[in-house]
Amino acid sequence: MWRLTDEQREQREHIREVVLEQIRPRVREIDESGDYPYDIHEILAAEGLLGFAIPDEYGGGGHAEVMSCALIEELAKISGTVSLMSAYVVLTALPILIAGSEEQKEQFVSPLTSGEKFGCYCVTEPHVGSDPAGLQTTAERHGDSWVINGEKRFIGNAGIGDIHVVFARTGDPGAGGISVFVVPGDAPGVSVTELRTMGMPGWKLGAPKYENVEIPAENLLGEEGTGFRTAMMTFDRSRPTVAAQAVGVAQGAVDLALDYTTRREAFGQPLFGHEGVQFKLADMEADVAAARALTFQAATFVEQQDERMSKLSSMAKMVASDTAMRVTTEAVQLLGGNGYLKDFPAERMMRDAKVLQIYEGANEIQKLVIARQMMKQAGGRDPIWPEVMPGAEGVASGKGAASPQEQEEAPEKETAGTAA
C-alpha cells in the first residue's frame, strides 16, 4: 500500500508553496494569452521539479513514481498546463530510459531534466490513434543514416520540441515492424503545424511532418522492431501521472467550490448551509479521494514492477479522468453564473479536465486494456461457482474467447492520444 513518508510530506509542502507563491499569480494571464509560460518552466527547472522523477545520474531528482504523482497533483491543482511541463519530461524520457543505451540516456535525457531542451513523444498520426500497430510513418536505412517520412498529430510540445521521440515503421505491417528514434526538432525536413485546443492554455499541441528527415543510425533506440513494446511499456509507467493530473485538477475544483460556497450567501445563509450543497461537496470530495487512492496504488505497482501494473495504470487513468470531468462540472454548477465566467477558474478547470479523458489512451481504450488484463489473469482459473456457471469450463480454458496466450501475442490496440 502507498504512503508518503514524513520527508516526502515536507517535499510536498515545499512544492505547494512554490505553486501558490510563484505559479498561481500567472495562471489567469496564461489562460488569456495562450502563450507558453517559459518563465514558469524556468522556475520548475530551478526548483528541480522538471526532472523530479528522472534518475539522478541523468540530472533528475531520482524520485519514484508515488512522489512524482504527488508533485503532478500539486501542480495540477492550480494549473493543468503547468503540470504538463513535468509530465512531458517523464513521457519523453521514458522510451529513452527503457530502450536507449547509456550514451543515449546521457545525451538526450539530461537536457530535458535541466530545462535546456523540450521534448515530445510522437506516436499518433492523422489516421492512426487507437491502433499504433498501424503506423504509416516510415524510417528507411540508408548506410549510416535513417530517413524518416510521415506525419504525426496531436503531439504535445510539438511546437517547441527540441527532441522528438518518433515511432516509425521499419518493417512489415503490424506491431513487430515498428521502431523508435530520436529526431532533432530542428533537423532539415521537420515542420510543425500548431493546433488550437479547448483547454490547457499555452500547451503547444501540434502536427509534426517529417519529409526526408535524415538522422544518424545511432539515433535508433533499442533494437529495430522493438518500438511497439517500448510504447506500451511507456504507457504503463506514464498513465499514473495522467491520473495524478486528473486528481489535481479535480481537487483544485473541490477546494474552489468549498471556498466559494462558504462565502457566498443565498436565502440568508452561506450556500454551504444548504443540505443539497453539502451533499454535492461530499460526493465530490469522496470521489476525488477514491481516485487518488487508485492513482497512488497504480504508482506503487509501477515502482514495484508488479505484474498488475498495466491494469491498475489503465484503471487509475480512466477513473481519475472521469472523476475530474464530473467534479469540475459540478464545481461550475455550484458557482452558478460565476462558474461560467472566465473571472473564476472553475470553467478553465472543466476545459482542462476534458482532455484527460482522451490523451494517453482514450478511456474507451482503457476499458479494453482492463478487460483483456482481467481475462489474462483469470486464464486457467477454475470457476468460483461452477454449479451455477454452465459452460464455465470452456470459458476458463479460453473457449469462446481469446486465450491469455493469444491475447498476449496479439498487439493491443491502444491510443497514444493527444499526449503522444
Listed in order, strand segments (DSSP E) in 222-284 are: 265-266, 269-270
Residue 47: active-site member:
no
Residue in the structure block whose three cell numbers are 524520485 = 63
The count of C-alpha atoms lying within 13 angstroms of the C-alpha of 51, restricted to the half-sphere facing its C-beta, is 26
Q: Residues with Cβ < 8 Å from 253, sequence gap 6 or more?
A: 284, 324, 327, 328, 330, 331, 346, 349, 350, 353
What is the Cα–Cα distance from 33 to 244, expressed in whole angstroms?
A: 26
What is the Cα–Cα distance from 228 to 412, expressed in whole angstroms?
A: 10
65-78 helix and 275-304 helix, angle to the nearest 10 degrees = 150
Give the residue from 106, 81, 120 showing the smallest Cα distance to 352: 81
Choose the catalytic residue: 360, 393, 412, 414.
360
Q: What are phi and psi of 305, to 5 degrees?
A: 55, 40
Query: What letter represents residue 77's amino acid?
Result: K
Are 392 and 383 in contact by the 8 Å Cβ rule? The answer is: yes
Q: Just list the catalytic residues.
A: 360
